[in-house]
Amino acid sequence: MAFIAELPDGCRTVFNLYVFEERSHKEIAAMLRIKEHSSTSQLHRAKCLLAKRIKEYTKHEERK
């Protein structure tokens, strides 16, 4: 959960709404007054940032 908290605000908001609240991109777009494509892009960016952060973390843990 700490990694999610490190995400930029927009990415974190879309990620939480999509993953934890199971909202559709259409619903998220309406709620946040953004385009549906923006919701999709923010989610993609959030997933990429989380994957990168997790990869860095696991590499660090393996060195211990």
Q: What would the two tokens of residue 55 be?
A: 């990869």
Give the CA angle between residues 30, 36, 38 to the nearest 5°.
110
pLDDT value, residue 62: 81
pLDDT digits (tens, 9 = 90+) for 4-33: 999 999 999 999 999 999 999 999 999 999
Q: With a cut of 80, say whether residue 64 has pLDDT above it.
A: no
pLDDT value, residue 41: 99
pLDDT digits (tens, 9 = 90+) for 26-53: 999 999 999 999 999 999 999 999 999 9
CATH 1.10.10.10 fits 2-63, yes or no: yes
* Confidence class for position 58, pLDDT limits 50, 70, 90: very high
